[in-house]
Amino acid sequence: MLEAGKDMLETEKCVVKAITGDQAAAEAMRQINPDVVAAYPITPQTEIVMTYSQFVANGLVDTEFIPVESEHSAMSACVGAAAAGARTMTATSANGLALMWEIVYIAASTRLPIVMPLVNRALSAPINIHCDHSDSMGARDSGWIQMYCENAQEVYESIIMAVRIAEHPDVLLPVMVCQDGFITSHAVEGVRIFEDRIVKDFIGSYKALFPLLDVEKPVTYGPLDLQDYYFEHKRQQSEAIKNAIRVIPEIAAEFEKISNKNYGFIEEYQMEDAEIAILALNSTCGTTKAVVDKLRGNGVKAGLLKLRFFRPFPAEKIISSLSKMKAVAILDRSESFSNCGGPVFNEVRSAFYESENTPLITNYIYGLGGRDINTFQIESVYNNLLEIVKQNKVKNLVNYLGVRG
């Protein structure tokens, strides 16, 4: 993060704009200026599509925009456009992601570097337009890279980085950039926006490897792949996501040169001498930081581990950060209905299975359907961690925070 007394290297070329998380996403897209955007509006992503459509209408971008009739067609058209050789983007939320589900997998397996801002929203039923992570967590095994953003600034910067990660020849995977519906998507923040030229230079131009539009070298996309080859192709996909573990820090280092920000897989907040910690994603990290500050004032050695990437899953980074803790609470903003806790909890806990230093780990499922999470609740989690340390025992593996009954 930004160090005190040290501003952005390109600071004089940045402007601070008062915009929402959705507008920050649209602003990043404007500067990326993709060849094709195919999207369908859905709350709370709508403002991204509306803002971008206005950019198109005002001639601020060269993009050909496809106002498709559904999210299924949005991702289908994106697959076609990306296979054709175009830099391609879309955006969605919740039920929209669910409707495009089939093609979400196809985009990843076809190794098409599509970038998709995802504004996290609860999946139906009951229908609900507010934030939780059931949409993106459901897509965790689809083969997409997943970035999670605390605020509008991170949304803006992550989308710019996502283009480079997706298009890296050793990766070639689609990336979804997640932010919390309404909490960040509709809240106005001051967002530092690069000069257009800086983004343009950072992302560079895109040249697809095997474009459909190269009629001189015809290729077939999407053939029937049976018992004799399918497995090898899936194995290659595993290698690609493994490569992302190496490539992401390289691109983060390049991004640091223009932003002076070091975006890793994780962000540690007051973790150096911490004894108890919370691991969380997206906007809840901001709330948790405030609680950490308060507890630190009281002499409690509390810390926060913010997970910025859930795919690829940065197991080593998480272990090295959390193994020094006495007790850790994993905050999940989705329920997996496994009766064994949320998805983030399960993966973190599993990562520790063979670790020599494993902290006591507990899980909190919170904030479903946009239920507010406040500092008192987060403080209660830290208090519970202190109790766990005291008793050297996790009484309840899975807890529900801020729910009746």
* Residues of this chain that bind other proteins (CB under 8 A): 35-36, 38, 62-64, 66-70, 72-73, 76-86, 88, 102-103, 106, 212-215, 218-226, 229
Tell me if 192 sits within 8 A of 8, measured CB to CB. Answer: yes
Paired sense of beta strands 309-311 and 145-148, if any = antiparallel
Q: How far is the CB of 88 from other proteins (least distance, A)?
A: 7
Q: How far is CA 274 from CA 324, 331, 379, in A?
A: 8, 17, 15
Q: Which residues contact 388 (CB under 8 A, 6 or more apart)?
A: 327, 360, 362, 394, 395
Q: Which residues contact 216 (CB under 8 A, 6 or more apart)?
A: none
Q: How far is the CB of 225 from other proteins (least distance, A)?
A: 5
Q: How far is the CB of 331 from other proteins (least distance, A)?
A: 36
The C-alpha atoms of residue 25 and residue 199 are separated, in whole angstroms, by 14
Nearer to other proteins, 38 or 183 (CB): 38
Amino acid, single-letter form, for residue 262:
N
Nearer to other proteins, 76 or 321 (CB): 76
Q: How far is the CB of 164 from other proteins (least distance, A)?
A: 20
The C-alpha atoms of residue 381 and residue 383 are separated, in whole angstroms, by 5
Nearer to other proteins, 64 or 239 (CB): 64
Q: How far is the CB of 218 from other proteins (least distance, A)?
A: 5
Q: How far is the CB of 105 from other proteins (least distance, A)?
A: 10
Q: For the chain, how many residues are written?
A: 405
Q: Name the β-bridge partners of 189.
A: 19
Q: How far is the CB of 345 from other proteins (least distance, A)?
A: 33
Tell me if 378 sits within 8 A of 288, measured CB to CB. Answer: yes
The single residue listed with the structure tokens 């901001």 is: 286
The radius of gyration of the chain from alpha carbons, rounded to an integer in Å, stands at 21
Q: How far is the CB of 5 from other proteins (least distance, A)?
A: 43
Nearer to other proteins, 64 or 293 (CB): 64
Nearer to other proteins, 72 or 130 (CB): 72
Using CB atoms within 10 Å of the CB of residue 8, give its burial: 0 to 12 exposed, 13 to 18 middle, 19+ buried: middle
The C-alpha atoms of residue 351 and residue 312 are separated, in whole angstroms, by 13
Nearer to other proteins, 101 or 400 (CB): 101
The single residue listed with the structure tokens 């780990």 is: 361
Nearer to other proteins, 56 or 245 (CB): 56
Q: H/E element holding 401?
A: strand 398-401
The C-alpha atoms of residue 61 and residue 110 are separated, in whole angstroms, by 27
Q: How far is the CB of 42 from other proteins (least distance, A)?
A: 16
Residue 62: DSSP 8-state? -
Nearer to other proteins, 206 or 400 (CB): 206
The C-alpha atoms of residue 87 and residue 162 are separated, in whole angstroms, by 12
Nearer to other proteins, 15 or 226 (CB): 226
Say whether 394 sits in a helix, a strand or coil: coil
CA-closest candidate to residue 276, choices 378, 399, 354: 378
Nearer to other proteins, 36 or 348 (CB): 36
Q: How far is the CB of 78 from other proteins (least distance, A)?
A: 6
